[in-house]
């Protein structure tokens, strides 16, 4: 009844509103007049009867009807008891400041006792709201239209279909128009008049991708857990559950109990309490208290009590089994129409298959950006390890130094873009210097003793970490990225990539190109490669291996500094950030194969992809994901001890 | 006619496209002394790597002993235990340990960890060590750390360790490198004596040393056998002169 | 056999004598003996230090003698601690639970007790059921077996995989570090069945000895640690002497030469790796009842690296060096970080050792690696050799 009324009302709404707005003719009746005609209804609106009033109001074509409806809904309308006129009023001290409804101008102040506040009840407010939606959907202010759409998606309702659909025609904003169309589809799918209408709408939804559409379809497919002796006529059964296969016995029995189809089992504590309450002469049900230390004797005692009628009988295994066997457990759709649920199921499957495809793309993107980070973090290590056979445990601390350099630069240069541009080369310079100093002072003396180098650099690592802690404190320092790196590149509802990750990817690409260029096309690269392959021969050809080692180490450390700035942009800068990356970097180098830029790239891709892949299957537990990844790497090393890109023969050096 | 102890046939191996050994066939009997010569990169070291299990050939057969066991499926230590000893080009003795410890480690006793853990020194073992030490001329140095020995002495110690293993086939890589003439002579004697009871393969650059060994010579070139015979015979071979001696 | 071994290795007798004397002194000076010069907590520190010395000796054998720089032995130490901790925690909670359930009118059933114990132990991680890991936790004997078996089998499996594929040198170090990291990450999870980052606590209370004061218990554990260290020292001294030692050191110096002598190098490495892992597990099982608490942070890779630092500072390749390093560095470390060392005012800045100890340790470690590659033990050699020359 009400629904029909509202629909009828809604149908005539757009015409009148459009009329009033387009012609601008002065209407015959002003607002107050219309209201006075329905004075009783305005003052005391009823959910069923208010329809006439609203229809009349809307029919009047007055421009301020929408404002009135809003104020009315918000309990801002008052009636003056002296003359029965309606005003907007605001309490000021002991008085109300009145506003003329028709003109919107102040109408003086009156004492509070002559004004009656009009309080429409919840049902009425909903009816008013539905009428308002129409106004809001066509409101010239875009923000209000968006708000109206938001309101509809928050609490969708059958009544909104028509006003929404009618507002599409006049919608000038293409984005909003799209949204309105989509929303109208959602409403039709859920509340459409006929089965065919709904199925049609549902079929249209199957080409969508967004979360809202998925939740609409899921809502249509909402099921309830049911149990009954036989499935009632007219139930839209989603599936029948087999006890022991689809549903555990305990769960099934709990359903029976909550459906009052079986007696509740008596929990252990309750049995114990019942036994305790019925101790007579040191015995319960004829069994001495001292013997009640086992489940079997307690059950016996309880059954004895139950046989005497002292306690309710316990649920025996036979009762359970019988109850379970004589009932059917099933999930039922709340939607009664099987055709609709079938269509929704098919549509949802299609949507989800598409979502899954996009998710794979999304994960690949994620994996790619993670791989870029690992590549940046590991490439410096790979260079020093490959060229000099030196494991630099302080590499992680060079990453940290780079990040702190970025942080300090930001303290002096407030513009984030400029500070970033300064920080990148500065971080390189700082860590390059630190690397060269370390090579000169420590590593040079430890060549051909790789394990000792490992330990000495570890000593430097703990010292540097603690130094950073002493200087910058234990709390994380922010390294703020410039505004243009904040957003994300949204491809669709499933695939989106943060700009910062794209930037890191580009940075990794640049460094890949740069390193390949330096190694393959420059004199330094030639010398580095010759020292890698045969230091003795290189030395005899006039290449100074000391200088090459120093520069290589500096280069590797410098790239770590750059990586530090990049990592600092999206993770916090702490004194311990280096140790978070060092093991992963080692893995990258080892898995990829030593002494080869492409190997490092392959290692980084494998580890990044693996980590994201495992996280996808086990998203709640990143710790477990890391555990599995490390185990995988340990196994991987078994089969390719020299990494993905392995050198063979004499170059392998074994 | 002596028995064939080791036979390689049709063995090839390549590293990254480079054929280090190319369809090589080789046999040696027991007892026999054999010298292998060839220019750099002829595949001499790879040849030894293949026999001792360090490098797996891409194709071919390597067969050892009367029972014609294939060496290709065996690990380095299994090959060593079945009677093949190898001396590396650079003397590799355990420098932190005494001469006696070095020789004791090489003695042909059970090699399992628990055998070794529960091993007790026996008079026979001590006697054998002294015998070997006398043979290699280190009887007065048994308690010295082998790192303190001269270069030549280290070479001898390593040969002594090989002999202690009691191998049927001895592979010796450039034993005379860096030795004084007197030391060379001693080394020659050692090898010749060893070859009286077993097969010995000597890889050597030094022609004078090879001549003194006075044995059959195999010339390797680009991974396969170029010529075989007495030193005089091979040095007259035109191919050999071209690729090796002529340059 | 052992007599012959001891007579040929007088340094072992010297060490045992020193250890015995030390134990006697500590006992006499303890509160229990009445003198009370050493507090209970200090005796615990000494007992723990003895356990650290034991794992340091194990580390020295695997690294200093066999050349395998394992960055995973502290993981085995932790596993030993967890294994004994499970029994300690289970048994003690069970006693408490039974006591409280006994106050009811009806005697408790076994199921009731298990449930209540599970609630007590795992409530903190939001679970009540016993995970499968705890299947043997009610039996002291079986858990003691776990102390030996779990580290042993883990080392055996890991070592077999790693040595078989000829992973050596720094690669092996990194692989062992990865293993340690995987273990600690696993333990950090709440659903690991070992109470996540809460770890196991209350381990200093020994079930069945509630009435015995901690002063006495700490002395017991001190004795047990000393005994374990003594036995471990003798065991390892025996292993690294004689022909076994010869082969092991041979593997360290030139692995492939040993292989061409006919020794199956992988088996030897596996033997040493597993044996030292087992001893590390035993050391951990003695350490954590004295520490009272074990949590995943103890197993983190950094701990194993510190272990290598102790051995390097003490002097690799000599067993007493490892003991020296572990004792000196760990005691110094607790002196510095515990606020025992006086701060140094520089006028513009005061060096507080709680902040600067790690910097000092790091740099002195670099200095030791550069200038005293043989560690503190190497200084002894210098003195002894100079004495010889005179």
**Cβ <8 Å between B16 and A649:** yes
Predicted confidence at residue C390, as pLDDT, reads 36
pLDDT class of A25 with cuts at 50, 70, 90: very low
The residue of B50, B54, B75, B116 whose CB has the most chain C CBs within 10 angstroms, and thus the best one to mutate to test that interface, is B116
pLDDT at A144: 81
**Cβ separation A455–C104 shorter than 8 A:** no
Short-list A332, A558, A519, A529, CA closest to A434: A558
A496 membership: H or E segment, kind and range: strand A496-498
- Point out the residue among A290, A465, A469 whose CB comes nearest to the CB of C107: A290
Please provide the average confidence, as pLDDT, over all residues in chain B.
84
Instruction: With CB atoms and an 8 Å threshold, state whether A635 touches C161.
Output: yes
From chain C residues 222-281, the ones with a CB under 8 A of any chain B CB are: 239, 242-244, 246-247, 249-250, 253-254, 256-265, 267-268, 271
Which chain B residues contact residue C267 at CB under 8 A?
A: 112-113
CATH at residue B240: 3.40.50.300
Contact C107 A293 (CB under 8 A): yes
Interface test mutation site (partner A, options C70, C105, C106, C129, max chain A beta carbons within 10 A): C106
pLDDT at res. A620: 67
Chain CA centroid to CA A461, Å = 37
Q: How far is A647 from chain B (nearest CA, A)?
A: 9
CA distance A137 to A135: 6
**Chain-chain contact of C260 with B76 (C-beta, under 8 angstroms):** yes
Kindly list the residues from chain C whose CB atom is less than 8 angstroms away from the CB atom of residue A298. Answer: 106, 109
Show residues of chain B in contact with C246, CB under 8 Å.
94, 97, 101, 104-105
A536 and B CB contact within 8 Å: no
Residue of B nearest to A651 (CA): B15
CB atoms B20 and A648 under 8 Å: no
Rounded Cα gap, residues B116 and B101, in angstroms: 13
Give pLDDT, residue A649.
Answer: 39
Which A positions 635-654 lie with beta carbon below 8 A of chain B?
Answer: 648-651
pLDDT digits (tens, 9 = 90+) for A374-384: 998 888 888 88
* Nearest chain A CA: its distance from B86 CA (Å): 17
pLDDT at A626: 76
- Judged by a CB distance cut-off of 8 A, whether residue A540 touches chain C is no
| Confidence at residue B147, expressed as pLDDT on a 0 to 100 scale | 86
pLDDT in tens, A128-151: 877 777 777 877 788 888 888 888
B75/C263 CB distance under 8 A: no
Phi and psi of C303, rounded to 5°?
-60, -40
Per-residue pLDDT band for C389 (boundaries 50, 70, 90) equals: very low
- Collect all residues of chain A within an 8 Å Cβ-Cβ radius of residue B15: 648-650
Q: What is the pLDDT of residue A619?
A: 66
pLDDT > 80? residue A480: yes
Q: Is 50 exceeded by the pLDDT of residue A16?
A: no
| Domain count along chain B | 1
B239 is a domain residue: yes
CA distance A636 to A644: 9
Instruction: Give the pLDDT confidence of C320-344 residue by residue, as tens digits.
Output: 889 999 999 889 888 888 777 788 8
CB-based contact (8 Å) between C129 and chain B?
no
Look at residue A136 in the predicted model and tell me its pLDDT: 79
Q: What residues in C contact B108, CB-CB < 8 Å?
A: 262
The tens digit of pLDDT for each residue in C251-303 reads 998 888 898 888 999 999 999 999 999 999 999 999 999 999 999 988 888 88
pLDDT for position C61: 95
* pLDDT of C74: 93
Look at residue A408 in the predicted model and tell me its pLDDT: 93
Contacts of B20 in chain A (CB under 8 A): 649
> Given A459, A630, A635, which is nearest C363 (Cβ)?
A459
**pLDDT surpasses 60 at A19:** no
Chains touching chain C through at least 3 C-beta pairs below 8 angstroms are: A, B
Per-residue pLDDT reduced to its tens digit, B42-94: 788 888 888 888 888 888 888 888 888 888 888 888 888 888 988 887 778 88
Closest CA to A502 of A405, A553, A570, A439: A570
Contacts of A22 (CB under 8 A, 6+ apart): none
Chain A environment of B18 (Cβ under 8 Å): 649
Give the model's pLDDT for residue A3: 52
Cβ–Cβ gap A627/C358 under 8 Å:
no
Closest by CA position to A485, among listed A495, A497, A468, A467 = A497
pLDDT for C35 beyond 80: no
Task: Kindly state whether A298 is in contact with chain C, defined as any CB-CB distance less than 8 angstroms.
Answer: yes
Confidence of residue C352 (pLDDT cuts 50, 70, 90): confident
> Model-level pTM?
0.81
Is B222 domain-assigned? yes
What's the pLDDT score for residue A646?
A: 64
Q: Identify the band that residue C144 occupies on the pLDDT scale cut at 50, 70 and 90.
A: very high
Q: Write the CB contacts of A100 (distance below 8 Å, at least 6 apart in sequence).
A: A87, A106, A107
What's chain A's average pLDDT? 82
Q: Is residue B197 part of a domain?
A: yes
Q: What is the pLDDT of residue C1?
A: 46
Closest chain A residue to B18, measured at CA: A649
Q: In sequence order, what are the residues at sequence separation of 6 or more whose Cβ sits closer than 8 angstroms to the Cβ of residue A640?
A: A646
Using one digit for the tens of pLDDT, what is the confidence trace for C95-106?
999 988 888 878
Predicted confidence at residue C45, as pLDDT, reads 92
A295–C111 CB contact, under 8 Å: yes
Of A272, A586, A641, the CB nearest to C166: A641
- Is there a contact between A648 and B16 if contact means CB atoms under 8 Å apart? yes
Kindly provide the ipTM of the predicted complex, given to two decimals: 0.85
Query: Residues of A with CB below 8 A from B16's CB?
Result: 648-649, 651
Chain-wide mean pLDDT for chain C? 87
- Name the residue with tokens 């220019």: B39
Q: Which of B96, B97, B111 sits opposite C263 (nearest CB)?
A: B111
Evaluate whether residue B31 is within a structural domain.
Answer: yes
At C61, give phi and psi (nearest 5°).
Answer: -65, -45
Count other Cβ atoms within 10 Å, centred on residue B93.
27
- Chain B interface mutation, best of C238, C255, C262, highest count of B Cβ atoms under 10 Å: C262
Query: Chain A residue closest to C113 (CA)?
Result: A293
Q: Which of C161, C189, C191 sits opposite A638 (nearest CB)?
A: C161
- Number of B/C CB contacts below 8 angstroms equals 68
The band of B234, judged by pLDDT with boundaries at 50, 70 and 90, is confident
User: How many Å apart are CA C197 and CA B95, to the nearest integer?
Assistant: 48
Residue B76 lies in a domain: yes
What is the mean pLDDT of the segment spanning C130-158?
Answer: 91
The reply to whether residue B16 touches residue A650, judged by beta carbons under 8 angstroms, is no
The confidence score (pLDDT) of residue C386 equals: 52
Measure the CA–CA gap between A351 and A333, rounded to whole angstroms.
20
The residue of chain C nearest to residue A620, with distances taken between CA atoms, is C189
Q: What is the DSSP string of B154-206?
A: HHHHHHHHHHHT--SEEEEE-TTTT--HHHHHHHHHHHHHHTTTSEEEEE-S-
Long-range contacts of A48-55 (CB under 8 A, 24+ apart): A48/A1, A48/A2, A50/A120, A50/A124, A50/A127, A50/A128, A51/A2, A51/A5, A51/A6, A51/A9, A51/A127, A54/A9, A54/A127, A54/A128, A54/A131, A55/A8, A55/A9, A55/A12
pLDDT one-digit tens code per residue, A546-583: 888 888 899 999 999 999 998 888 788 898 888 878 87
Instruction: Using the predicted structure, report yes or no on whether residue A654 has a pLDDT greater than 60.
Output: no
Chain B contact set for C264 (CB, 8 A): 75, 77-78, 111-112
Q: What is the pLDDT of residue A73?
A: 80
- C100 close to B (CB below 8 A): no
* Cis omega (within 30 of 0) for bond into B31: yes
How far is C-alpha A644 from the chain's CA centre?
Answer: 35
Domain boundaries along the sequence of chain C = 14-389
pLDDT at A17: 43
Q: Are A555 and A432 in contact (CB under 8 A)?
A: yes
- Torsions phi, psi for A154 (to 5 deg): -65, -50
Task: State whether A298 and C167 contact (CB < 8 Å).
Answer: no
What pLDDT sits at residue A554? 92
Q: With contacts defined as CB-CB under 8 Å, which chain C residues touch A275? A: 106
Q: Is residue B139 part of a domain?
A: no
Question: Is a pLDDT exceeding 80 seen at residue A155?
Answer: no
Contact yes or no for C261 and B105 at CB 8 A: yes
C contacts of B111 (beta carbons < 8 Å): 262-264
Q: Is residue C211 helix, strand or coil? A: coil
Q: Which residues of B touch A651 (CB under 8 A)?
A: 16
Using the predicted structure, report yes or no on whether residue C232 has a pLDDT greater than 90.
yes
* Whole-Å CA distances, B15 to A101, A608, B88: 95, 31, 21
- Counting as contact any 3 or more CB pairs under 8 A, the partners of B are A, C
- Is B105 near chain C, with CB under 8 Å? yes
d(CA A615, CA A618): 5
Please tell me what DSSP assigns to residue C108.
P
pLDDT tens readout for residues A156-202 = 877 778 778 878 887 888 888 888 888 888 888 888 888 888 888 88
Q: Among A295, A456, A638, select the one facing C165 at the smallest CB separation.
A: A638
Report CB contact under 8 Å: C253, B105: no
């Amino acid at each position: 009844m009400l629904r029909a009324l509202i629909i009828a009302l809604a149908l005539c709404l757009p015409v009148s509103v459009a009329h009033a707005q387009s012609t601008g003719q002065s209407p015959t009746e002003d607002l107050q007049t219309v209201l006075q005609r329905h004075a009783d209804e305005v003052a005391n609106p009823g959910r069923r009867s208010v329809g006439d009033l609203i229809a009349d109001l809307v029919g009047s074509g007055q421009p301020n009807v929408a404002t009135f409806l809003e104020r009315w809904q918000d309990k801002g309308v008052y009636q003056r008891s002296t003359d029965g006129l309606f005003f907007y009023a605001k309490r000021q001290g002991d008085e109300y400041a009145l506003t003329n409804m028709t003109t919107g101008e102040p109408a003086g102040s009156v004492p509070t006792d002559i004004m009656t506040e009009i309080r429409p009840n919840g049902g009425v407010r909903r009816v008013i709201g539905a009428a308002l939606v129409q106004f809001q959907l066509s409101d010239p202010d875009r923000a209000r239209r968006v708000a109206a759409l938001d309101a509809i998606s928050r609490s969708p309702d059958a009544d909104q279909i028509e006003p929404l659909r009618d507002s599409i025609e006049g919608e000038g904003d293409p984005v909003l128009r799209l949204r309105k169309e989509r929303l109208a589809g959602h409403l039709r799918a859920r509340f459409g008049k006929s089965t065919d209408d709904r199925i049609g709408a549902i079929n249209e939804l199957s080409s969508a991708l967004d979360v809202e559409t998925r939740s609409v379809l899921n809502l249509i497919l909402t099921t309830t857990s049911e149990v009954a002796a036989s499935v009632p006529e007219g139930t839209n059964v989603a599936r029948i559950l087999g006890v022991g296969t689809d549903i555990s016995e305990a769960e099934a029995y709990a359903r029976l109990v909550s459906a009052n189809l079986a007696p509740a089992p008596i929990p252990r504590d309750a049995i114990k309490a019942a036994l305790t309450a019925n101790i007579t002469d040191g015995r319960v049900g004829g069994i001495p208290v001292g013997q009640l230390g086992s489940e079997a004797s307690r059950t016996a005692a309880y059954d004895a009590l139950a046989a005497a009628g002292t306690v309710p009988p316990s649920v025996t295994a036979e009762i359970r089994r019988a109850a379970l066997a004589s009932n059917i457990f099933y999930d039922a759709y709340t939607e009664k129409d099987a055709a609709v649920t079938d269509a929704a199921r098919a549509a949802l499957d299609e949507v989800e298959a598409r979502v899954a495809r996009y998710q794979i793309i999304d994960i690949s993107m994620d994996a790619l950006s993670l791989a870029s980070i690992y590549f940046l973090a590991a490439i410096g290590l790979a260079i020093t390890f490959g060229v000099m056979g030196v494991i630099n445990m302080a590499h992680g601390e060079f990453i940290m130094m780079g990040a702190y350099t970025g942080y300090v630069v930001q303290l002096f240069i407030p513009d984030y873009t400029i500070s970033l541009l300064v920080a990148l080369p500065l971080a390189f310079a700082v860590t390059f210097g630190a690397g060269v100093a370390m090579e000169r002072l420590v590593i040079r003396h430890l060549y051909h003793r790789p394990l000792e180098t490992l330990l000495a650099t570890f000593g430097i690592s703990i010292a540097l970490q603690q130094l950073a802690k002493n200087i910058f404190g234990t709390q994380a320092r922010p390294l703020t990225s410039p505004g243009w790196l904040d957003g994300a590149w949204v491809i669709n509802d499933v695939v989106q990539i943060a700009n910062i990750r794209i930037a890191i990817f580009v940075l990794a690409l640049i460094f890949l190109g740069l390193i390949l260029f330096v190694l393959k096309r420059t004199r330094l690269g030639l010398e580095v490669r010759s020292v890698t392959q045969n230091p003795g021969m290189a030395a005899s050809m006039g290449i100074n291996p000391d200088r090459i080692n120093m520069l290589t180490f500096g280069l590797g450390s410098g790239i770590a500094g750059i990586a530090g700035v990049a990592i600092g942009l999206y993770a916090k800068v702490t004194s311990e950030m280096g140790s978070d990356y060092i093991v992963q970097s080692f893995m990258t180098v080892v898995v990829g194969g030593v002494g080869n830029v492409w190997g490092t790239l392959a290692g980084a891709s494998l580890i990044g992809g693996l980590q994201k892949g495992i996280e996808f299957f086990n998203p709640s537990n990143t710790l477990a994901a890391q555990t599995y990844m490390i185990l995988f790497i340990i196994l991987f090393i078994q089969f390719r001890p020299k990494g993905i890109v392995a050198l063979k023969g004499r170059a392998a050096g074994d | 006619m002596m028995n064939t102890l080791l036979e390689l046939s049709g063995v090839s191996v390549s590293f990254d496209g480079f054929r280090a050994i190319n369809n090589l066939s080789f046999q040696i009997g027991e007892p026999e002394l054999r010298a292998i010569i060839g220019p750099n990169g002829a595949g001499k070291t790879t040849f030894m790597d293949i026999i001792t299990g360090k490098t797996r050939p891409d194709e071919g057969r390597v067969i050892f002993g009367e029972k014609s066991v294939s060496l290709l499926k065996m690990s380095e230590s299994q090959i060593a235990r079945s009677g093949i000893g190898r001396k590396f080009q650079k003397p590799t003795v355990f420098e932190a340990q005494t001469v006696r410890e070095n020789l004791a480690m090489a003695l042909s006793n059970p090699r399992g960890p628990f055998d070794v853990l529960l091993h007790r020194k026996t008079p026979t073992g001590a006697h054998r060590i002294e015998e070997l030490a006398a043979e290699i001329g280190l009887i007065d140095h048994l308690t010295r750390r082998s790192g303190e020995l001269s270069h030549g002495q280290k070479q001898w110690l390593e040969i002594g360790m090989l002999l202690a293993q009691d191998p049927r086939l001895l592979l010796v890589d450039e034993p005379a490198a860096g030795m004084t003439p007197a030391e060379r002579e001693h080394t020659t004697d050692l090898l010749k004596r060893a070859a009286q009871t077993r097969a010995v393969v000597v890889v050597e650059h030094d022609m004078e040393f090879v001549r003194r060994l006075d044995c059959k010579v195999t010339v390797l070139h680009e991974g396969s056998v170029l010529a075989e015979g007495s030193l005089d015979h091979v040095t007259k071979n035109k191919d050999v002169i071209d690729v090796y001696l002529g340059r | 056999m052992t007599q012959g071994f001891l007579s040929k290795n007088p340094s072992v007798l010297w060490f045992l004598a020193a250890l015995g004397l030390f134990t006697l002194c500590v006992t006499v000076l303890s509160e229990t003996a009445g003198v009370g010069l050493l507090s209970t907590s200090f005796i615990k520190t000494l007992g723990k230090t003895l356990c650290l010395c034991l794992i340091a000796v194990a580390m020295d054998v695997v690294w200093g003698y066999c050349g395998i720089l394992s960055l995973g032995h502290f993981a085995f130490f932790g596993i030993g601690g967890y294994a004994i901790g499970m029994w300690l925690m289970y048994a003690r909670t069970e006693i408490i639970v039974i006591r409280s359930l006994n106050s009811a009118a009806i005697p408790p059933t076994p199921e009731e007790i298990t449930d209540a114990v599970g609630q007590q132990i795992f409530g903190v991680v939001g679970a009540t059921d016993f995970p499968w890991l705890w299947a043997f936790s009610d039996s002291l004997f079986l858990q003691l077996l776990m102390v030996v078996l779990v580290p042993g089998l883990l080392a055996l499996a890991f070592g077999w995989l790693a040595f078989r594929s000829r992973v050596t040198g720094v690669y092996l170090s990194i692989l062992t570090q990865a293993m340690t990291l995987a273990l600690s990450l696993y333990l950090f999870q709440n659903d690991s069945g070992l109470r996540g980052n809460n770890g196991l606590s209350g381990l200093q209370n020994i079930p069945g000895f509630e009435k015995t004061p901690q002063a006495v218990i700490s002395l017991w554990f001190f004795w047990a640690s000393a005994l374990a260290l003594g036995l471990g020292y003798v065991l390892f001294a025996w292993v690294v002497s004689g022909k076994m030692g010869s082969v092991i050191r041979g593997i360290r110096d030139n692995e492939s030469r040993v292989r061409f002598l006919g020794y199956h190098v992988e088996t030897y490495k596996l033997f040493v790796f597993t044996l030292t892992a087992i001893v590390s597990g035993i050391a951990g099982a003695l350490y954590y009842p004295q520490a009272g608490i074990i949590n995943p942070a103890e197993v983190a890779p950094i701990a194993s690296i510190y272990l290598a630092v102790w051995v390097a500072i003490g002097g690799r390749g000599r067993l007493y060096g490892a003991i020296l390093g572990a004792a000196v560095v760990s005691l110094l470390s607790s002196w510095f970080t515990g606020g025992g060392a006086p701060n140094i005012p520089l006028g513009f800045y005061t060096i507080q050792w709680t902040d600067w100890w790690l910097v000092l340790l790091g740099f002195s470690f670099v200095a030791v690696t550069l200038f005293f590659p043989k560690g503190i033990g190497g200084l002894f050699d210098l003195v002894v050799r100079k004495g010889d020359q005179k």
